[in-house]
Amino acid sequence: MRKTVVLILESIQGRIEERATELAAANASLVQEAAERLRIESRLQHFVEGVVDYALFMLDPNGIVTNWNTGAQRIKGYAASEIIGRHFERFYTPEDRAAGVPARALQTAIREGKFEAEGLRVRKDGTTFWANVVINPIRDDKGELLGFAKITRDVTERHRAQEALQRTQEQLAQAQKMEGIGQLTGGVAHDFNNLLTVIIGNLESIRRTLGTTPLDHERLGRSIDHAMRGAERAASLTQRLLAFSRRQPLDPKPVNVGRLVAGMSELLRRTLGEQVAIETVLAGGLWPVLVDPNQLEVSILNLAVNARDAMPGGGKLTIETANAHLDEAYARAQTEVVPGQYVVLAISDTGVGMSREVQARAFEPFYTTKDIGQGTGLGLSQVYGFVKQSGGHVKLYSEEGYGTTVKLYLPRLMAEQDVLVEPEQVHHTPRSRNGETILVVEDDEDVRAHSTGILRELGYDVLEAATAAAGLQLLHGHPEIRLMFTDVGLPGGMNGRQLADHARSIRPDLKVLFTTGYARNAIVHEGRLDPGVSLLTKPFTFSDLARKLGDMLDEASAPPRVLLVEDDAMRQMAVAEQVKELGYRVEVAGSAAEAISKVRLMADDIALAIIDISPPGRGGDALLSELRALNAHLPVVFTSPDSGSLPRRFAADPFVVLVRKPYTGKDLKSAIDRLRMA
């Protein structure tokens, strides 16, 4: 028994000694780890203390400063003993403290894992500096917030350098702007002085000739011709300036560029002469575009003339058309380019080409490489302004000795049907056939006398007013007035557009023709004439006014126009015939998109719409809402196989009638008569 006890005691003693050895080893390891940690912390502290360009310090969860490095003392001015235990908001300006900026910074760091900003901070001595600040939340293994690590860097010098650079850039931009204005005004003054010399000189010659006996008719006619050419060149110059500045009133229509180019072939051959061979490469299936066809023709002619002048010994002019897609990568690398589908019109020559310096300035107004008197320097700038105003893009490619290519990218018109607008061909000056009465509202006495003189010579009865108020009085007292010819800019607080709106509220059938030298906001928005607006720009000629009035008054006597929206081809043909038998003109649309496009183009010329309740592209009620945005009082006949399918929000609308399919011409006439009575 004793022996057993001894053995047990020996065993216990061995275990105790073994455990003691393990504990001693563990203790030694802990001591070593503690020493290593102290060394690391010491090195880290030395590292932190050694950073003098950054303020590195800690905050507790409430924003109280808990430690401070040498960089913080250098940047902010506080010794550690002066700032530890104080809230970090004292580094902010009084305005930022009042606005709660410090608290929001900590909340942002907690919520988003980091807060970074730049702003003014305050040093101990009260001076301010620009600081870049980063705040990171510090959490334990369980995610509990222990505090914040804050880094501040003084970026005052960088900020001052940026401000200085910005001031320099602004000064450079202003200098370039003034140089451009100087070049523009100098070019305008030069060209207009030349033109005024021609006009004034020949008018003086006319006056002298009229005082001679016998009258020299040949000299008189020659002087008149020279004065007219000078005036026409002056008018062309102002239009080109407006085109360059993207302020000309465009009248866009759906155009097939290929057909327009083909129609200009004879004009181009006469203009360019026999030394220039013309080749056209016109793509099939070309998309329609929505542009002003007259201005597009002028642009093509300008480019062709420039190409001819670049080939003094003759050469080849190539005109190409194609569909194109400009992707986002291309659009990002250009200026004012929207990615999408375009029709590209490329005009290339085999001429002398351009240097890089010339290419960089090619679209500047009045910049030209031609000899003095050989060009205004406005041709390319007119093209550039027109294309940009039309939402397009211009690209110039040239190499000295190898020729030049100018590419015009015109946005595709997203419509179901291609509509070609042919240039108007008028071979006579239309005159009044029935002695219609026209009201002229113009504040400039000389212009009013010129306008009324033309109208009386054309056989119209004329009433005239100098203000909108006087014009309205005449409208009330003269129901025979069929058309009002008004300037856009009128004195007295009511412009021409406001006058027209008021007049049409009294006389909905009144035709209105506007005239202006420059109208940016009243009838022109985003560079385009408002829908339904007829405009004759100043200066206008006898034949210009005669043709415009003839077109408008002839149109006024034409049958009303009805828009038919129907996707079924057989039903479309049948209904169109029924509408024509009722005495109307018919515009057919096979989809909602096409219907919107036609109303946008024709606006008030659409007297009524007949719409399938479910046209392709969108619901009938949605389509009507869009059409009403273009024509606020458009009467509509909805057609549907379901008698109860009229959209609820239009059920009480007196200008909406439902006709159930199938219907007869009599049913359609009854519905239209109800709308006309309403």
86 secondary structure, DSSP code: S
Number of H helices, E strands in the chain: 21, 24
Q: What are phi and psi of 480, to 5 degrees?
A: -75, -10
- What type of residue is 531? P
Distances (CA, A) of 362 to 9, 367, 644: 109, 7, 64
List CB contacts of 578: < 8 A, sequence separation 6 or more: 664, 665, 668
* pLDDT reading at 46 higher than 60: no
Percentage of the chain exceeding pLDDT 90: 12
Q: What are phi and psi of 150, to 5 degrees?
A: -125, 130
In DSSP terms, 394 is beta-bridged to 408
Containing H/E element for 14? helix 2-50
Find where tokens 């239309």 sit. Answer: 430
Angle between helices 620-630 and 592-602 (to 10 degrees): 10
3-state secondary structure of 659: strand
Percentage of the chain exceeding pLDDT 70: 74
Closest CA to 355 of 397, 399, 396, 308: 399
User: What span, in angstroms and rounded, lies between the C-alpha atoms of 51 and 48?
Assistant: 5
Q: Write out pLDDT tens, residues 450-475.
A: 788 888 888 889 999 999 899 999 98
Work out the pLDDT band at 31, boundaries 50, 70, 90. low
Mean pLDDT calculated for residue range 75-95: 91
Containing H/E element for 20? helix 2-50
Work out the pLDDT band at 418, boundaries 50, 70, 90. very low
Residue 188: CB atoms within 10 Å: 17
Residue 341: both structure tokens together: 């589908």
Please give the pLDDT value at position 194: 58
Please give the pLDDT value at position 294: 75
Residue 533: both structure tokens together: 């607006």
Work out the pLDDT band at 135, boundaries 50, 70, 90. very high
Ranges 308-312, 440-444, 562-566, 627-631: which has the least confidence = 627-631
* pLDDT reading at 140 higher than 70: yes
Please give the pLDDT value at position 452: 86
Residue 394: CB atoms within 10 Å: 20
3-state secondary structure of 418: coil
Q: Write out pLDDT tens, residues 226-274.
A: 777 767 666 655 655 554 444 555 667 788 888 888 877 777 777 787 7
Mean pLDDT calculated for residue range 28-35: 64
Please give the pLDDT value at position 159: 84
Closest CA to 242 of 287, 292, 284: 292
Q: Write out pLDDT tens, residues 341-380.
A: 899 999 999 888 888 877 777 766 555 555 444 444 455 7
User: What span, in angstroms and rounded, lies between the C-alpha atoms of 540 and 642?
Assistant: 55
Residue 357: CB atoms within 10 Å: 8
Mean pLDDT calculated for residue range 46-65: 76
Please give the pLDDT value at position 44: 46
User: What span, in angstroms and rounded, lies between the C-alpha atoms of 394 and 379?
Assistant: 14
Mean pLDDT calculated for residue range 387-400: 84
- The mean pLDDT value of the chain amounts to 77
Select the more confidently predicted residue: 12 or 186: 12
3-state secondary structure of 487: strand
Chain-centroid distance of CA 560 in Å reads 34
Say if residue 654 is preceded by a cis peptide, omega within 30 of 0: no
* pLDDT reading at 449 higher than 80: yes
* pLDDT reading at 395 higher than 70: yes
Q: Write out pLDDT tens, residues 275-314.
A: 888 888 888 888 888 888 877 887 888 788 888 888 888 8
List CB contacts of 14: < 8 A, sequence separation 6 or more: none
3-state secondary structure of 608: strand
Mean pLDDT calculated for residue range 77-95: 91
Please give the pLDDT value at position 302: 78
Torsion-angle region of 454 (φ positive above 0: left; ψ -120 to 50: alpha; else: beta): alpha
Please give the pLDDT value at position 427: 45
3-state secondary structure of 524: strand
